[in-house]
Structure 1
Amino acid sequence: MKILSLGRILLPFLIILNLYADVSATPDRYAIYKGESVNITLSATGNAHFPDVFDIAGYKVLGASSSSSINVVNGQMTKTSSKTFSFKPDKNITVPSFSIEVDGATESTAPFEIVVKEPVASTQGDEFVVELSLDKDELMVGQSAKLSVIFKMKTTSRVDDIRLSDPKLSDFWVENLGQGKQEIDGEYIKMSMNYLIFAQKSGEFEIPPITAAIGVEADGGDPFFGSIFRNLNYKQIYSNSTKIKVNPLPNGLSLYGDFQIRAEVDKKVINAGEPVNFTIRVRGIGNVDDISSFEIKEPDLLVYADDPKLQRGMISGEYGGEFSQKFAIVSESNFTIPSMSFSFYDKNLKESKTIKTDPMNIEVIPRAVSNLNINSDSSLESDCYPTEVINYKPGILPLIASFIMGALSFYVAINFKFKRAKRPKKELDIKDKIKRAKTDKELLNLLLPYINKSKKIDEILSFLDENLYKNTNHKIDKKEIISEFLRLEI
């Protein structure tokens, strides 16, 4: 019997690994429009080590990805690795050579050119059109303008996906108003996205073109999975650019519109140490988002300010809303909440305007004073008056005494019953209220009347204030607070 070598048996089935040193650098496009990104892929066949790339021709790398594959052809294995870098040049560049280590040897890619072209705006008559339009081309700082991005496609066009870029405006605050109605405009189907833009500084500005990526499903899609995994080819089209002039507001103002201001308190008479809640509101048409927080700077007052709240939206076709801010103010004596003022450029009067609230006087009832101990002085002489002696007959006196005692007993019984019926519910003491407090705000309001009672209470008030208004996270121990109240015998 012929014995075959094990090596000869396995040899036909062994895959021989051949690694070929082959490197390249290729872009996904050699020409792009300004504002588009380009992907550069470094590829190598063999055991490759790619360089770390952080910028290409002076432009920061925006993203990177890696991939590898193994192919077997005629029993030979070939390993191919690649690394792709994305970046966004804004002018023509030369992509330099890259050094890649393959199987211990260093190989270099060939340099190549990337051409960056200025976008060409789509025009009426094209299959797809994107347009930028403004309802006004000159503004004041803080004033708003409506910016519309209009996309049009011919009624005969086939489109599977549309992606519109957002306006890029570094010197404007932008509010998205949403999509407008779709309508027929001659041979086009027209749709729009609308924005409000608010000028933040003066000058002449250019709003750059908007990009629309039009996706159409590629022919030859999978008949079974095509509806789920669609292969879309995208075509980029561009809008026109547009210019806008922004004029400065006088006197360093930053707010433009028509506003009213008012202030209110929850009570005008309080006990010492009890907080009064003061609210200021500014309402009207204009850039309410730019209203700054108000401050109350009075050295004799303890003031806690809430973060402002803002309600905003379109009011009769114009942007506006209401700014509101609440304060808790504590004092040991009578005080006056000062007038609060607010300045803006009045859009109707075309001039600067300052509006203000009236000062508010708050009466503070002093803390209760301990009862004075009044000692009787035995040396004081009482006034003496003559006493009239009345003699009663012995038989009548017991009868009179019985009548008086009966009447007195009846009065006491009726009075006791009345008091029991009218007795109010016992109010929770401060320690029970502290136990039931669920939020830092509730706890702060409970402790404010006891400010300056002890260093511990003042410290806890400070922690609560920081938790509420400075986004800190001090742990508040209710048991510690109650122990302090027991120590103070409150």
Structure 2
Amino acid sequence: MKLYRALLIIFIFINTLLADVSINAPTTYFQNEAYVFTIKATGSDVVFPKIDKISNQKVQTISTSKSIQIVNSSMKKSIIRKYRFFPKNDFVLPSFTIKIDGKDEKTKQIKVKKTQVKKSNFKYANLEVSTSKTDLYVGEAFKLKLKFKYLSSLNISNLSVSNVDLKDIWFKQLKGEKHYKEGDFDVHELTYLMFAQKSGHLKIEPFRVNMSLVAQNSDPFFGFVQQNANIKRVYSNSININVKKLPDNLNLIGHFDIKTSVDKTTINQGDSITYKVKISGIGNIDDIKDIKLNIKNAQVFENKPKISTNIKDSKYYGEYEKVFSIIPLKNINIDSIKLRYLDEKTKKVVVKSSDSFSIKVKKIKKQEHKLYVPTKKNDDKTKVVVKEVQVSSVKQNIIYFLLGSIFTFLIIFLVKYFEKKRKNSKKDSTIIQKIKKSKTKDNLIKILAVYIKKDEQLDKMIYKLQDENEDFKSLKKQIVDLIKQLEKGKK
């Protein structure tokens, strides 16, 4: 019995020695980056606490690893959990309680400070960024080159560039990544095309390269984890740029051309013309102001502009195109459009003008649609008929009279019937027929041009035709009914 008690005491003592908890947490973190810490617990029965928030920020469990070892016939279980969150300021990492073999074990409390990102100073790796310009205008293109080099002798399993939060700067990576040797180092180069969206002194924060190094020796803390790579973070330098406002309230910088065109210059009254505006060139075409037309004595309908861009030879090419449909009420002039921008090379204001156009409108006589009532034509010449008069009886006269009366009433009935039927089946007017045959909203707008400003309710329906969400068939039926009322003079 004493032997059993002694063995039990020894077993409990060994388990107590095996019970262990530790935390691996840095005392500083970089602004705008995740703070990562790890808790390791060892024992026969391990229960981790639930960690939801730290410093009012949500905490995420990003990994959990387990291992089991048997030492002197005793089982030892080790669990390691990795957490991360995004703090805003300095904070205190609290003490956490882990239950190990029925006992509460606590981690130490750690004070953590926020620090600014600084360029890494490693002998085995270096990250450098440089720009083609540091003094520029809003919307002016410039290039940023990222150069990362590391010792060729390093065993690297993966390289990745983290996304930088560039406030007020639009950027896009260019094609053509470079790889080459520079002494004992391998070199990678990336180039970005950038546009500053705001004036003032702007800062390009350091870029970061995550480098996965295959570990040659296991870390004492992580030795039991089956991992063969350590991630090293390499930071670049930061760059300050001075961004100036464009002069004379301009919003474009680069080199651009403008062209306008019409499909015809002479039309019949009620017809429409198509007017196109196209602006193309190199520069910040995305910042172009939308073009509007204000033409007297004309109805102007516009489509949404189309802007297409592409990068070629490290330059930002773009094209702005907008199409208008114009229905003149009489002769009109379409004035030229002035395009103003700052030339990127000369730094001078350039003004370019498009062509102007005179549109001649031919008046057409309105056709009056009258009801056509067919009349009987008596082309036959009057013939003299000589009949032989026979004396008939009174009975025959009565029969003839009755038959004549019946025939007369029948003729009157048939005439009224067919007259009523003809009125009910009266043909639609020409304008109604055209409306019914129209297939698209644009086609219907052209047909209805002659009715513009003749009826307020009809004008509203014509403007509804520009709305893509309006049902075409339903709206066309309403227009037909309204025009029929206008033709009858009931409205």
TM-score using structure 1 length: 0.64
Distance in 2 between residues matched to 1:249 and 1:450, nearest whole Å: 46
Aligned to 2:74: none
Question: 1:330-383, CA deviations, whole angstroms, 9 ceiling, x for partnerless residues?
Answer: 23322222332222222344222332324322223345411598xxxxxxxxxx
Seen in structure 2, the aligned counterparts of structure 1 residues 121 and 324 have a Cα distance that, compared at 3 Å, is same
Seen in structure 2, the aligned counterparts of structure 1 residues 172 and 369 have a Cα distance that, compared at 3 Å, is same
Aligned to 1:364: 361
- The reply to whether residue 150 of structure 1 matches residue 147 of structure 2 is yes
Aligned to 2:6: none
Retained in 1: the 8 A contact 2:283–2:317? yes
Please list every run of 5 or more consecutive structure 2 residues that lacks an aligned counterpart in the other structure.
1-18, 71-77, 219-225, 371-432
Distance in 1 between residues matched to 2:297 and 2:39, nearest whole Å: 70
Question: Partner letter of residue 57 of structure 1?
Answer: S
Aligned to 2:300: 303
Aligned to 1:114: 112
Retained in 2: the 8 A contact 1:143–1:256? yes
Bigger radius of gyration among the two: 2
Correspondences of 1:50-65 after superposition (within 5 Å)? 50=50, 53=53, 56-57=54-55, 60-61=57-58, 63=60
Correspondences of 1:217-232 after superposition (within 5 Å)? 217=214, 232=229
Match of 1:86 among 74, 84, 95: 84
Retained in 1: the 8 A contact 2:48–2:97? no
Question: Partner letter of residue 306 of structure 1?
Answer: N
Question: 1:448-483, CA deviations, whole angstroms, 9 ceiling, x for partnerless residues?
Answer: 11346477875565445333xxxxxx2515266257
Distance in 1 between residues matched to 2:152 and 2:246, nearest whole Å: 46
Q: CA RMSD in A?
A: 4.7
Question: 1:199-219, CA deviations, whole angstroms, 9 ceiling, x for partnerless residues?
Answer: 222222221111100113457
Match of 2:284 among 258, 262, 287: 287
Q: How big is the shift at 1:177? A: 1.2
Distance in 1 between residues matched to 2:120 and 2:62, nearest whole Å: 33
Instruction: Name the SS for the 1:160 alignment partner.
Output: strand
Match of 1:340 among 337, 340, 343: 337
Distance in 2 between residues matched to 1:455 and 1:115, nearest whole Å: 70
Q: How big is the shift at 1:433? A: 4.7
Retained in 2: the 8 A contact 1:450–1:457? no
Aligned to 2:209: 212
Question: Partner letter of residue 193 of structure 1?
Answer: L
- The reply to whether residue 175 of structure 1 matches residue 176 of structure 2 is no
Question: Partner letter of residue 121 of structure 1?
Answer: K
Correspondences of 1:52-451 after superposition (within 5 Å)? 53=53, 56-57=54-55, 60-61=57-58, 63=60, 86-89=84-87, 92-96=90-94, 111-122=109-120, 126-217=123-214, 232-298=229-295, 300-314=297-311, 318-366=315-363, 368-371=365-368, 431-434=436-439, 443-451=440-448
Seen in structure 2, the aligned counterparts of structure 1 residues 488 and 99 have a Cα distance that, compared at 3 Å, is farther
Retained in 2: the 8 A contact 1:260–1:283? yes
Instruction: Name the SS for the 1:178 alignment partner.
Output: coil
Percent identical among aligned pairs is: 25
Quick check: 161-170 or 297-306, which moved more? 297-306
Distance in 2 between residues matched to 1:264 and 1:38, nearest whole Å: 59
Quick check: 246-255 or 41-50, which moved more? 41-50
Retained in 2: the 8 A contact 1:281–1:325? yes
Aligned to 1:402: none
Retained in 1: the 8 A contact 2:465–2:472? no
Retained in 1: the 8 A contact 2:438–2:444? no
Please list every run of 5 or more consecutive structure 1 residues that lacks an aligned counterpart in the other structure.
1-21, 74-79, 222-228, 374-427, 435-442, 468-473
